[in-house]
Amino acid sequence: MGRDSITLPRMSATVTPAAPRPTAMRRRSWRKRGDRFGDAAMYAICLGAALLGAAVIVAIAYQVVHGAQPAISKFGLGFITSTEWKPTEQFSVFGAGSLLFGTLFSSFFALLLGAPIAISIGLYLSLLAPKAVRGVVSPLVELLAAVPSVILGFWGILILAPFVKSTIEPALHSVLGFIPIFGEPQTTGSSVFTASLILTIMIIPIIASVSRDLFMAVPSELQDGAAALGSTRWEVIRGVVLPSTLSGMIAASLLGLGRALGEAIAVAQVIGGGTESHLSLFKNGGTMASIIALQFPSAVSAIHTASLYYIAALLLVIGVASNLLASWVGIRFGSAGGAMR
């Protein structure tokens, strides 16, 4: 007989999974409930924080407008264009025109000086500086924003104002004295020019930090492609980096402008406390925020207090408008950047 082939039946290797234990099922159920509770709690906290911020803004606006109601009723919109500010107990005349002009004049001059410096700092830190230098300089620039404004004002009184009086103002007047804004220097050093320099120092960290982040967000492929075509480093920055971040730089500058418009203490310490309208950088002046800081604690009458509230309301409108404009420009930048990338 030949060998018989015996075929053995295959045993199934499939193992039936054990039924989950009741304890494990309960744990999973409690975990899902905890996750759902965590999601709801996070949503409620974030919504509450957003509503709280909106409620604070509304409460501030209501209090300011309510305090300004007597001045609004007495002066109307003519308060904005009137340039007289004479707080006396017997006969008071109030108008925000000169203070509004001083606020815009000093802030825009500070922006004119600070924006190019800040953007240059952002370019250097993002594209030109070695990593070791970048790691040291970047925190120092950001720490400049943490210096209290009263300290900057104190430094302006002791150091900057005497230097401006003895050196900068006479030099500018001797060369550019035929221009009205560079008129006759004052003897104290407290002037719109000194206040603008303080504001310049205060807005540089904001614009520099935002600009640095903008420049670092430019796709490296665009820069490498331009360099591969033979562009120099300056041509890459001028032709690729700056055009693609133009809207963002405008938004950063508007944020810095909002910071300058609302500064009170440092400006009040070095601007001189004047209330007259003039075009000279070297004369005493006043801003809306500085006049509130200087005169609100010692207001001579109820209408004086209401007029200061009126100025605060105007300043609030200007500040909110500048920040909303910066946000709008930032949204435009974000959509353009997304399309570019």
Give 64-105 pLDDT, tens digit per residue. Answer: 999 999 999 988 888 888 888 888 766 778 888 889 999 999
Centroid of chain to Cα 139: 17
Residue 70 to residue 68: CA distance in whole angstroms: 6
141, part of any domain? yes
Band of the pLDDT at 15, cuts 50, 70, 90?
A: low
What local confidence, expressed as pLDDT, does residue 66 receive? 92
Helix (H) / strand (E) element for 93: namely strand 93-94
Residue 208 burial by Cβ neighbours in a 10 Å radius (0-12, 13-18, 19+)? buried
What local confidence, expressed as pLDDT, does residue 62 receive? 93
Q: Is the pLDDT of residue 229 over 90?
A: no
What local confidence, expressed as pLDDT, does residue 339 receive? 38
Q: Is the pLDDT of residue 1 over 50?
A: no
63, part of any domain? no
What local confidence, expressed as pLDDT, does residue 338 receive? 42
Residue 67 burial by Cβ neighbours in a 10 Å radius (0-12, 13-18, 19+)? middle
What local confidence, expressed as pLDDT, does residue 220 receive? 82
Q: Mean pLDDT across the chain, nearest whole number?
A: 83
The neighbour count for residue 141, using CB atoms within 10 Å, is: 17
What local confidence, expressed as pLDDT, does residue 313 receive? 93
7 or 136, which is more confident? 136
| Number of domains forming the structure of the chain | 1
HSE (CB half, 13 Å, CA atoms) of 153?
14
Q: Check if the beta carbon of residue 263 is closer than 8 Å to that of residue 150.
A: no
CA distances for 279 relative to 83, 96, 115, 263, 276, angstroms = 14, 16, 22, 21, 10
Q: Is the pLDDT of residue 341 over 70?
A: no
The neighbour count for residue 201, using CB atoms within 10 Å, is: 20
The residues, any chain, with a CB within 8 Å of residue 81's CB and separated by 6 or more, are 95, 97
Which residue, 152, 155, 164, 151, is CA-closest to 190?
164
Torsion of CA 304, 64, 250, 281, to 10 degrees: 10
Residues of the chain with pLDDT > 70: what percent? Answer: 86
191, part of any domain? yes
What local confidence, expressed as pLDDT, does residue 3 receive? 47
Band of the pLDDT at 340, cuts 50, 70, 90?
A: very low
97-123 vs 302-340: helix crossing angle, rounded to 10: 30
Model pTM score: 0.81
Q: Which of 13-22, 24-33, 140-149, 186-195 has the lowest mean pLDDT?
A: 13-22
247, part of any domain? yes
Residues of the chain with pLDDT > 90: what percent? Answer: 27
Q: Which of 70-74, 234-238, 337-341 has the lowest mean pLDDT?
A: 337-341
Q: Check if the beta carbon of residue 218 is closer than 8 Å to that of residue 172.
A: no
Residue 31 to residue 19: CA distance in whole angstroms: 19
Q: Is the pLDDT of residue 9 over 70?
A: no
Q: Is the dihedral of CA 100, 101, 102, 107 positive or negative?
A: positive
240, part of any domain? yes
Mean pLDDT of 26-53: 79
Residue 250 to residue 119: CA distance in whole angstroms: 11
Band of the pLDDT at 17, cuts 50, 70, 90?
A: low
How do residues 142-174 score in pLDDT, each as one tens digit? 888 888 889 999 999 999 999 988 888 888 888
Q: Which residue matches tokens 């409690």?
A: 30
**Tokens in use for 58?**
């509304």
| Proportion of the chain in helix, strand, coil states, percent, rounded to 5 | 75, 0, 25
256, part of any domain? yes
Band of the pLDDT at 28, cuts 50, 70, 90?
A: low
1 or 70, which is more confident? 70
Q: Which structural domain, as residue segments, surrounds residue 276?
A: 73-340
31, part of any domain? no
Band of the pLDDT at 286, cuts 50, 70, 90?
A: confident
For 282-316, b where at least 16 C-beta lie within 10 A, e where not — what string? bbbbbbbbbbbbbbeeeeeeebbbbbbbbbbbbbb
**Tokens in use for 175?**
């060369």
CATH number at residue 281: 1.10.3720.10
Q: Is the pLDDT of residue 298 over 80?
A: yes
164, part of any domain? yes
The residues, any chain, with a CB within 8 Å of residue 264's CB and separated by 6 or more, are 149, 287, 289, 290, 292, 293
